[in-house]
A and B are shown apart, each in its own frame.
Chain A
């Protein structure tokens, strides 16, 4: 059966590989994960995402229960419905994970991001940045004669809009903390 010396292998068209990936619509989900606050737990979560090729749009983590040593990780990720289901199942099977909540699926939720934004400039641009900050309810946390640093909390979209308006006005530095989120209503998750 050996096809004797067929010569060099024909060149192959590999475009199908990328077509497999974006065949289905990607959705963005916000997932809250309650974990033991122990060494390596964040590496486990991040390693899971990188090792299996999942997206992380943002990730925040901090201890929320100092007595029980529990931390809450908020992850904003995107993928097809099947991938999102996988992500949650994979997270849930990590041994130090107590609970996984898909806030996007479980009902209305609030999501907030925090950012520090520095604008440098003088004259009209400087004043204009202050005016925009006022409209967006950003606070000045540091000012010099040639700069402002604003503090701002809001939805990801609101932060994006604010930052875009500041861009032509001498934006020099941004620090964003990533989203934290919680279900609306009286129930805890």
Chain B
């Protein structure tokens, strides 16, 4: 063999650089020391030392979601790999491209219960798009490139590459990243022209249409968002987004109805319920969107565009199925739409009048208070101060997340990072680390709950080390508010273990990590605290002491049809059914 032989660790780093990786989020350990040694010797890759491997994956997710690129993670074997599992599952559910390199015990030790051995490919098989155990140094370069190809192609997702220590040390050939083609994996990018023509026909004939778009628009890229805006503008149809799709369409545009789903707006859910044509693009008819399935939008024809055929006809049977990339299909659909007469204006005007009536309910209205900070008020004021700053927002999970989705508007994709499918508390802070590293000069805010923030609070140390000016905006209600809300609605107000006792002093906690700590206790302080937070050139934790009893509305109670929403605390729309009690 004439080709130069490299060590496994060298091959791994060379492949990362060739794949365009700039930052690796990681945590060292015995089974990855050869890779860390190689990292030490070079300057083309930046390693960011997180404080927990779950944080590493969420940081990579934040990086990926805010840039459209593949996030990269490096962790050791055994506990390093198992700690990464939550992040991998999160990335899998939300279709986030991540490549996670895990160390493994030497090949001859595998299966012997060696120190820090775990069956990483076994454990991660159901929570990754694909995974590899590299047993032969000759496969290493190809597998590295394949991992990136698989992670970013088609419906993106996490890929694990398990790397036994002896393979990291062995010598073998490097393979150029363009020198291979995957044996079997070729996602369909272009939609079937006949189906696209049928879709255009339905669009031209629609009287009560609605666009329903999701994370697929974000994953497809900024071109998809631009084309979506063009098509929506061209047709004059209303549009709603899933929680993963926010920013895929300009949030302050009048054709935008707000978020759909369990805590979506009244007008968005009713438009979905009463439409005669639903155009779903890169959205997956999740149970948080459909409510009770057999009552979901029964009178509509449905077009579904998705790059993953398994998303189509999974929960809801559709009339036109288009497998393909959102941007590619949208471009073809726009071309088709131009060839047909515009949809009938009179029917559409009537539909918009109906939607305006629903809008008139002002479903996000809340009872303001002169003495207590309402969480919605805090977010309204936050939005007022960040809306002209092209801010990036991550969230934790709970009521604050849903309020953030309702009250913050996003004009562009890649600005909103949240754990939608898995609902992982502890996502937001490490995700903000990844976002801030990708966008050093930008305003990055983690909208948090006091319970969630404690789940990955150790990342404040990472934030301190890399001087990341991340802003943590805690809506502190001293409760696992979303749990308390469900206990209100489903369990007779018995607040079993949902009170957050013994909370830290978040101001002092911030200071102990070299960050600024701020607190607001009454409405009159809110604006100043937000202004001070934004002005600070360092990390800030804001402890916003909000109403402890506020619940998040509108709400489709679990098991209810999507047109039966509770709009406010005063109104118990319907008894929650037996079905509802069993649902999550």
Contact = CB atoms under 8 A, between A and B. Distances in A.
A123 interface: no
Contact of A47 (B125, B494, B579): B125
Nearest to A69: B183
Nearest to B184: A98
B42 interface: no
B89 interface: no
A87 to B, nearest CB: 9
B506 to A, nearest CB: 27
A36 B183 contact: yes
A3 B492 CA distance: 6
A7 interface: yes
Instruction: Bin the interface of chain B by size.
Output: 35 or more
Nearest to B149: A95
B309 A16 contact: no
A40 B493 CA distance: 48
Contact of A6 (B122, B309, B312, B492): B492
Interface in B291-343: 308-310, 312-314, 317
A40 B131 CA distance: 9
Instruction: Bin the interface of chain A by size.
Output: 20 to 34
A47 B312 CA distance: 21
A6 B489 CA distance: 12
Given A1-B569, A1-B572, A14 B121 contact: no
B492 A5 contact: yes
A168 interface: no
A90 interface: yes
Nearest to B314: A86
B477 to A, nearest CB: 15
Interface string B351-363: 0000000000000
Tell me which of B131, B494, B569 has the highest count of chain A C-beta atoms within 10 A of its own C-beta: B494
Contact of B126 (A16, A51, A93): A51
A182 interface: no
Interface string B426-450: 0000000000000000000000000
A130 interface: no
What DSSP secondary structure best describes chain B's contact surface? loop
Nearest to B129: A95
Contact of A1 (B125, B154, B551, B578): B551
A100 to B, nearest CB: 10
A3 B184 contact: no
Interface string A126-170: 000000000000000000000000000000000000000000000
B184 A97 contact: yes
B129 A89 contact: no
Contact of B313 (A36, A39, A85): A85
Nearest to B579: A16
A14 B582 contact: yes
A118 B580 CA distance: 52
B184 A93 contact: no
A2 B126 contact: no
A90 B492 CA distance: 40
A47 B126 contact: yes
Given A36-B184, A43-B125, A92-B309, A9 B130 contact: no
B147 to A, nearest CB: 10
A126 to B, nearest CB: 47
B115 interface: no
Contacts of B154: 93
A68 to B, nearest CB: 9
B125 A2 contact: no
A12 interface: yes
Interface string A1-34: 1111111010011101100000000000000000
A36 B569 CA distance: 56
A97 B210 CA distance: 36
Contacts of B131: 40
Given A1-B569, A89-B309, A95-B129, 8 more contacts: A1-B570, A2-B493, A9-B492, A40-B133, A47-B126, A86-B313, A89-B308, A95-B184
9 contacts: A3-B488, A3-B492, A9-B492, A16-B579, A51-B126, A86-B310, A89-B314, A92-B309, A95-B129
Interface of B: 121-122, 125-126, 129-131, 133, 135, 150, 154-155, 183-185, 308-310, 312-314, 317, 488, 491-494, 551, 569-570, 572, 578-579, 581-582
